[in-house]
Structure 1
Amino acid sequence: MKKSHGSAFQAPQIELAQCQICRGKAFIKGVFYDLACIQCNASGWVVAETGEALQLHDLVMQLSFKLQEAQRKVEALKRASTTSIGKHYELNNRLGAGGSNYTGD
C-alpha cells in the first residue's frame, strides 16, 4: 500500500441521480407554498448508489463536473452540425437533372 499524506490529488466523480422525493425540482408542494426538499438539500440530486444527499461543498464540485460534461457535449454537437451542412453541398446526391447534384436552392 502506498503512503499518502493530505487530501487526494484528484476529486472523485460521484454518480448522481435525481431525487425521488422532489423529482429533481429541489422543491416540494406545500399546502400554501413550495418547500425546500430536505432529502436532497434542495439541490434535486442525490448519490445514485445510496440515495443520500451530498454535503454542500461536495455537491458544488459534482455539479461543476456535470456542467463541464454538458458543455463538452454542446460544443461537440455545434462542431458536428456546422460540418454536416457543408458536406451536403460538396457531395453529389445524383438527384438533379441527368444525375447531377441537386441542392434544393
Structure 2
Amino acid sequence: MRKSHGPALKKPVIDLAQCPWCRGKAVIKGVFYELPCDHCNASGWVVAATGEALALDELVTQLSMRLQAAQRQIEQLKRPQAGGPEAGYQESNRLGAGGTNYTGD
C-alpha cells in the first residue's frame, strides 16, 4: 500500500458469495414459517474470503457496485459489433488530422 494515512481514494470491491446457511435466499425454514437468516443479516450474501456477514451500509454499497458493473456489461452486449471490412469504418482509428478517423479513401 502506498498511502499511509487518510481514507481510501476508491472504495474496494469485496468478493461476495452466497450465504451457506440460507443458500442466498435470505430466509431459513422455521417450524411454521420462514425466518430471516441471522448469519448473513437476511441479505443472502457474505464475504467470500471469510464467510462473515457485511454491515448493512457496506452491503448496500457492494451490491450497488455489482449492479452497476452488471448494467455496464449488459449495455456493452446490447451494442452491435461490426465485423469484417466495415469494422474499420465504424470505429475511430485516430490516424487522421487532429486525431479524427482516417479510412484511406
TM (normalized to structure 2)? 0.70
Distance 1:71 1:38, change over 3 A: same
Structure 2, unaligned runs of 5 or more: 84-105
SS in 2 for 1:10: coil
Give the drift of 1:3.
Answer: 3.6
How many pairs does the alignment contain? 83
1 CA distance for matches of 2:27 and 2:77? 32
TM (normalized to structure 1)? 0.70
Question: What are the within-5 Å matches in structure 2 for residues 1-105 of structure 1?
Answer: 2-5=3-6, 7-79=7-79, 82-83=80-81
Structure 1, unaligned runs of 5 or more: 88-105
Q: Which runs of 4+ in 1 moved over 6 A?
A: none
Identical-residue share of aligned pairs (%)? 61
2 CA distance for matches of 1:22 and 1:65? 23
| Structure that is richer in helix per residue | 1
Considering only aligned residues, what root-mean-square deviation do their CA atoms show, in Å? Answer: 2.0
- What letter is aligned with 1:39? H
